[in-house]
Each structure stands twice: as C-alpha cells, then as structure tokens.
Structure 1
Amino acid sequence: MTVAIIGAGPYGLSIAAHLRSLGIPYRIFGTPVDTWAQHMPAGMFLKSDGFASSLSDPDGKGTLENYCTDRGVPYHPTIRPVPVELFVDYARAFQERFVPDLEERQVVSLDKVGDVYTLILDDGETLNADQVVLAVGITHFGLVPPQLAGLRPDLMSHSSDHHDMERWAGRHVAVIGGGSSAIDLAVFLKEAGTHVTLVVRAERLRFASPPSDRVRSRWERMKAPSSGLGPGWKSWVCENLPQFFRFLPGDLRTTIVRRHLGPAAGWPMKGRLEDGVDILLGTSIEQASEEDGRVRLTLRRADGTRTELLVDHVAAATGYLPDVERLRFLSRPLRAAVRTHNDAPMVDGAFQTSVDGLYIVGPGAADSFGPLMRFMVGAEFVAPTVAKRLARRARRTQPARPVTTA
C-alpha cells in the first residue's frame, strides 16, 4: 500500500511523522507551514497557548516546549503568547527532524480511476498512490461576502492574502470583520503606517481574558476545566471526546462549529487596536463599487441609517468555509463523489471520506469532528488516528511498495 499526503502544515507533518515511525511508505508534498509563514500577519501571536501549540510525534519529544528549552527561548505553557515567527521556526525544525523526506512541490491535480489515485505535481511529474490524505490548510476556504465578490483583486483581498503590511503604508484600507483575524490585520496595518477603518457587524468586540499565573482553585477547575481550546466544559468535551461529536445531529454540529470559540481576539491586541484604528461597530456592508481606482462602500448601521466610505482597498477578514468545491485541484468526479453536509466533507472515525482511500483532516473535517479541527492541538488526536488506520490497511496489503511514478 502506498500513501500520498498533500499538505505540509501541522496536521500533514504530524501524520507523516507517525507513518515514518511505523515504517509505512509515504510521500508528502507541500511547503512547510506555508499558511503560518506566508498567510498570517508578521508579528502576530498564536491564538493557542504554548502547551497547545505543538505538532505531534509518536514519542512526544518534538514539542514546542522542548524546542524552546533546547534553544534557550523564553516559553510558558499559558502566560507567554507564542509569536508566529517562533512557531514557524519550531515547525520547520520539527519537519527537518521527523519528516526529512518532505518534497516541497505542489499537487496541482488529483483524480481516481478504479482503485488508484493519480497525482500531477507542479513540475509535471505524475505518480500513483493507493491512499491519499488531504491535509490542506485554511487558505483554500477563505470566505468573501457577496457584496465584495465583484471587486478586482487589486481592490479587494482576503485576510489570508496578507503577511507583509509595509506595502499598504500611507493608504486607506477597510478591514471587514470583528474576529481575531480582522483585529490582528487592522492592528498590523495601522502599525505599518496604514489608515485603517475596521467595519464590524457586531455591536461590540470580544477579547480573550488576560493571562494569569494565579493558581485556580479546585472549584474553578471543576467549573471550567482547562483544555487546549480554552477553559470550560464545552471546550474540554470538544478536545477530549471528538469521536462523540460525529454522532450529533448535523445542523447542531454546524452550529457548534460556527459559534463555539467565536470571534474573540487575543488579549494583547486590545490596547493596540484602540490606539489609532477607526472602528465602526454595528455596521454591515450593503454595496461595494469601484470609483476612480478606489472602492466606495455603502454601509448600513444597526439603526438603519446609511453612510459611505471611500477607501483604497478592502480586506475581508470574514472567516473560512470548508467546502469540497473549493478544492479545485480535485477532479470534478472526485469532488462529486465526496459525501458532504452543508458543503463540508463528511468523514468516518479515522477521517476517511465516502471515497475509499481518501482522507481529509484539519479544518476540512470540522463538520465531523468539531472545533478541535481548527486548532493545533487537534494534531495530537488526528495523527495517531489516521496513521493507525493506514498501518492496518498496509498490513493487509503486504508486501508494501513505494509510491510509483506513472
């Protein structure tokens, strides 16, 4: 049996590390932690605490804490936020240690004929595999409001398109959204010398509680147990009982994924946001149009009044929507064969889709396994679960053979 892993983020690298330890032949394709290195604002902090920001290896030696200890980098499991640059350096070191055979090439086409998957890479190589793991990141699923969809790319972007903010200095950018991505983007644009207007549909902004080194009482821990997703029983259940989540009614699953741990930014961003960012609360977009190379936004306030805003660019920090149809490198028949719920792929207890041998992990599996799939700590559950299923299938199809060139 042969395995191809598409995607080299935390989930893809973790699965590869587990397969390698089990002696299962695989090939993994992608740029290591590209989403974090190129599609997050430089200087941001991870939403996850340090203890919940590690990739997964079988022996538990490749943690962020061990990486920081070995290199003398300041670390704390809860109090000290994790800069994205530190996480990227750590994840790349993890890849070099546990997944040294990563191929930094992109899969541009995936199809299945009979029992065999055919992959075409960006350099033209064609290869076959028996099993495929899609560990693609959130950049495939960026959601843009329909009011903005008609604007040219130079006038409108998604928050995942932004990493270096310097090119926006001296310009006026409207950031749409009120969650962590929107607030981070607004802050870093402002600090790069951009005039920023944050347009928020909600009546108020939410921020995480400030970190504290106070020891919580037993009653506090019972009332709101800690987890990698944050304190509280809902978060604890989502992290520790993900298999239970699959058996909830479909619409309830969708609601929980959408609402649980909603649009709350990190505590360090609160003061930075209030220092120089224009904020329009209770305001939604009615229309957007081009005007002399700029964008005119027609906005509607909660009381029904309308106002207009003329900006140089609009950045939609409006979240992500897992949708099989957005995975355009999958052939049309393959996309059509994947069973979905509200357009999101449905997977079984080992993350296999309705197409035999095709697995989807990470954000794409959130409708089946819940909010855990949106967080790094989910790799600790996903990687061994998928690797064990693939290992069992490999033992049934011995002798194993390497991924073959077609």
Structure 2
Amino acid sequence: MHPTVVDVAIVGAGPYGLSLAAHLAGRGVKVRIFGRPMRFWREHMPRGMLLKSDGFASSLSEPTGHYTLKTWCAENGEPYADMGLPVTLEQFCAYGQAFQRRCVPFLEPTEVQHLSRHPQGFALSLSSGDIALARRVVVATGIAPFAYLPEPLQGLPTHLVSHSGQHTDLSRFAGQEVAVLGSGASAGDTAALLQDGGARTHLISRRPVRFHNPPNGPRSLWQRLRQPDSGLGPGWKSYLCAYAPRVFHAMPQSLRLRAVARHLGPAPGWFVRDKVVGKVTLKPGFTLQSAEPEGDRLRLHFRHTQGQTHDLVVDHVIAATGYRANLARLAYLDPELRDAVRQVHHTPVLDRHFQSSVPGLYFVGALAANSFGPLLRFAYGADFTAKHLARHLG
C-alpha cells in the first residue's frame, strides 16, 4: 500500500513543533508530527532547574490563545506569576505534555530516522518502520543534537567528561569533586544543583559570571519607556528582537549574524546567585588548554587571561558550554538534501517564511536564529513562528 501524502510533516515535538501543529490543525491543514513530547526538556535538563524565562514568556501557542502556562497552573493548583516567580522545569514539562494531549492529540511518538526528497515532496523513514510522505517538511528538532564540547575534552572517557545536556539527575556526583565549565544559565544551574546535592563544585569560566538582575517590583512609566519589558528581558534591543523578527530578517546578513552572536549572551538567572556565590568555588578568567586522565581522576590545565597557568584535578568535568547550531549534526538529513540547502555559519539561509533554498523544506528554532534573530533561540519564539508559518503553509 502506498502511504498517503500529507500537506505538512513536522519533525520534532518541543514548543515549536507542538505550537505549529496546533495552529496548522486549526486551519484544517493535513499535518503529521513526529517525536516524543518535550523530549529535550525531559531528557536533557537537570531536575530541580528553574527556567530563566518569565511565566508569561513560557507558554506554548495554540489558535485560541487560551491554553497558556497560566491557565494550566490555575487548573492544577500550581503557583504562578507573570513575572518574579521562576517557572520550574517540572511545571514546564508537565504543561507541555498536557498541551500536547489537549491541542495536538494526533502526535505520533516515533522518531524520524531519515529524511530525503521524493517525487511527491519528501519521504520520512520512521523508527516504527513506516514511511511517511509529505509535500512540505518543517524541521523543529530543537538543540539537543548541537551540544558543544570543547576540543580539549573530546575523546576522553565518558566517566570523566560529559556535557550538561546529558544529565537529568546530578545526585550521582554527591561527595565528588566536579568542575563545571561555562558562564551561562546551564553552568549556573548545574553548579548550584551539584553543590546542593553534596558535590564539591568549581565553576570555571573564561569571563566573569554575570547573573541577571532580580525583578525590582513595579516600574514607573519612565523606566518602562527607557527599558521596555519583553519576553526576552528588558531593554529596547531585546524588545525589538522579541516583537520585530521580520524586521530583523530584512536587515543585512552581516548585521544579523553579529547581533545573534553578541546579544543575549550567557547569563544565569537571578535566582541562582545565592546558591552559587559564596558556596561554589568561582574561577573566572580561565581557559581550558588541555586535559588528561590521572588514575581515576582528570587533570585539567588552564591559562588565565593574565598569563598564569593553573591545574585542577577533579573526579569529573561537566561542560556547560552550550549548543552550536550546525545542520551537519542532524544525522537523519539525507546528505544530498543537506548539501542542497544554502547555508551561512552552518545554518540554513531562510526566506521570510522560514523556507530554505530547497522548496518545501522549512527550519524553525535555533537553526532559524541567524535569519530571524535571538528570539528563535527561546521557547517564547514559538508563538510568532507558529502563527506566521501556519498562515503561510495554510
């Protein structure tokens, strides 16, 4: 039997994939979506973590606009505030799974193993053994494939080295000495949770760790005009990135790339400061030069910005060094299809409707950030993306 060709197939079931599927279904588009709901957040984030985004900026998107995180919290007796009360990872995952059951009940919890061109559009080979055909495909697989491990740590034994995205439970490091590399949210969260769990923790970074400022309560009109609030934080740059992504897309490519690289850089949430400062050993200004096993432990060699060197021997090192979007890391993409996609800095060049140079192939989320701005690196960008792309595909 020949499989039915659908209008749109979505690869990935995180905030972007689920939101887009809900909007397409609301428009009557024949859509299939593949993946396990909220998989990245459930399988690659440490339990006990708090989201850096405010409550109002942590909702998925559906056509009515009613099923927000605030609504879910009210229905389930969970604490909630638009701003000032951090959202827990457990709340966000439970909300996302409830969103899937209510708004995208047709999700198929199977993985796409191969995506290639087909005379009728695209063919998707599924882990279930089936083949799906679609006229258009939206890649919404999130950032899990893009975990970045510094070169000195590559190839070392996994019992000594890991990436922060490999841990959901950090309690196994209790009583051990652990180095965390990085200065962003993942680094701050990981170090705080390790320390709380009984590990002796070092947080080592090339630059000083700069925590977000805590909310200071209601702000005057003048303060809001000088630094307007947005789903990406206060300030005019963040405001424009959050609410004018199409204007961002129209900017010269060199300017876009520079803005994505520089704006909204690494910074832990304000709520992590008290768990880190004075408790975790902070070593700013150090760059990892090399690493080698020493018995059952790992010796790390660092160089400071002022030139001096420093060695540290630990039981384990966790690289909280973020994610670097790279189309080549999507193993399921057929090489011929991947090579046909025009790229810049290893990410697809997209038109104003998220379409790549391969007609019918679309990319959203982190892979779209160089085209639409930093907004696409955050769950808050799912609302704009779902509404805009659903209108186009519908």
Q: What TM-score, normalized by structure 1, do the two folds share?
A: 0.93
Deviation at 1:201, TM superposition (A): 0.6
Per the alignment, residue 241 of structure 1 pairs with 244
Give the alignment partner of residue 149 of structure 1, picking from 154, 171, 176. Answer: 154
**Distance of 1:211 and 1:219 partners within structure 2:** 16
Task: Tell me which residue corresponds to 2:222.
Answer: 219
Alignment match, 1:186: 191
Aligned-residue sequence identity (percent) comes to: 47
Shift of 1:40: 1.1
- After TM superposition, give the deviation of residue 160 of structure 1 in Å: 0.9
Q: Decide whether the 8 Å contact of 1:257 with 1:367 is kept in 2.
A: yes
Moved over 6 A (4+): none
State the distance in 2 between where 1:313 and 1:115 align: 50
Equivalent runs, 1:25-104 vs 2, <5 Å: 25-104=30-109
CA distance in 1, matches of 2:177, 2:77: 41
2:203 corresponds, among 187, 198, 205, to 198
* Structure 2: distance between partners of 1:294 and 1:257: 38
Greater shift, 233-242 or 125-134, is seen at 125-134
AA partner of residue 198 (structure 2): G
* 2:133 paired residue among 116, 128, 150: 128
Matched, 1:271 2:255: no
State the distance in 2 between where 1:300 and 1:49 align: 37
8 Å Cα contact 2:120/2:134 also seen in 1:
no
| Shift, 1:293, TM fit | 3.4
Tell me which of 2, 5, 16 is aligned to 1:11: 16
- 2:285 equivalent to 1:282: yes
Deviations 1:98-136 (A, max 9, x none): 000111111111111344211111122222111111111
Deviates more, 1:166-175 or 1:323-332: 166-175
Which residue among 378, 382, 385 is the counterpart of 1:382? 385
**Secondary structure of the corresponding residue to residue 173 of structure 1:** strand
Cα 1:252–1:153 shift into 2, 3 Å: farther
Q: Is 78-87 or 165-174 further displaced after alignment? A: 165-174
Question: Per-residue displacement from partner, 1:28-83 (whole Å, max 9, x unpaired)?
Answer: 11111111112111111111101111000011011111111222222110011111
Distance 1:68 1:360 in 2: 31
Amino acid at match of 2:165: S
Q: 1:331 to 1:56 in 2, by over 3 A?
A: same
1:228 aligned onto 2:267: no
CA distance in 1, matches of 2:343, 2:163: 25
What are the Cα deviations for residues 259-303 of structure 1, in whole angstroms up to 9, with x where unaligned? 211111111110101243111111110111122232211111122
Secondary structure of the structure 1 residue equivalent to 2:323: coil
Partner SS, residue 45 of structure 1: coil
CA contact (8 A) 1:46 1:83 kept: yes
Report the count of equivalent residues.
389
- Corresponding residue of 1:400: none
What amino acid does structure 2 have at the position aligned with 1:303?
A: Q
For the residues of structure 1 that align with 2:108 and 2:198, how far apart are their CA atoms? 38
How many angstroms apart in 2 are the aligned matches of 1:112 and 1:134? 14
| 1:304 counterpart residue number | 307
1:112 aligns with 117
Tell me the secondary structure at the aligned position of residue 330 of structure 1: coil
- Partner in structure 2 of residue 170 of structure 1: 175
Residue matched to 2:330: 327
Aligned to 1:402: none
In 1: Cα distance, 2:278 partner to 2:125 partner: 49
Q: Which of 354, 358, 377 is residue 361 of structure 2 equivalent to?
A: 358
8 A contact 1:177–1:200 mirrored in 2: yes
- Higher mean alpha-carbon deviation, 92-101 vs 216-225, is at 216-225
What CA distance in whole angstroms lies between the structure 1 residues aligned with 2:356 and 2:128? 28
Superposed displacement of residue 188, structure 1: 0.7
Larger deviation: 169-178 or 46-55?
A: 169-178
2:3 corresponds to which residue? Answer: none
Task: Report if the CA contact (8 A) 2:293-2:299 is conserved.
Answer: yes
CA contact (8 A) 2:121 2:360 kept: no
* Deviation of the 1:12 alpha carbon: 0.3
Q: Distance in 2 between matches of 1:189 and 1:245?
A: 39
Equivalent residue letter for 1:371: P
Rounded to whole Å, the distance in 2 between the matches of 1:249 and 1:172 is 47
Displacement of 1:374 in angstroms is: 1.2
Three-state SS of the structure 1 residue aligned to 2:289 is strand
Cα offsets for 1:349-386 (capped at 9, x unmatched): 11111111111101110000111001122111000111
Partner of 2:351: 348
Please tell me whether the aligned partners of residues 119 and 127 of structure 1 are also in contact (alpha carbons under 8 angstroms): yes
Consecutive unaligned residues in structure 2, runs of 5 or more: 1-5
Mapped partners of 1:355, 1:172: distance in 2: 49
AA matched with 2:118: V
Shift of 1:212: 2.9
Name 1:396's counterpart in structure 2: none
Q: Is 1:250–1:341's contact at 8 Å kept on the other side of the alignment?
A: no
3-state secondary structure, aligned to 1:54: coil
Partner SS state of residue 130, structure 1: strand
Deviation at 1:323, TM superposition (A): 0.9
State the alpha-carbon separation in 1 of the partners of residues 337 and 163 from structure 2. Answer: 27
Give yes or no for contact 1:41–1:185 (8 Å, CA) kept in 2. Answer: yes
How far apart, in 1, do the equivalents of 2:258 and 2:192 lie? 29
How far, CA to CA, are the matches of 1:211 and 1:155 in structure 2?
38
The two structures, once aligned, show a CA RMSD in angstroms of 1.3
* CA distance in 1 between partners of 2:30 and 2:118 (Å): 21
Aligned to 1:399: none
Secondary structure in structure 1 of the residue aligned to 2:193: helix
Between the aligned partners of 1:381 and 1:102, the Cα distance in structure 2 is 21
With normalisation by structure 2, the TM-score equals 0.96
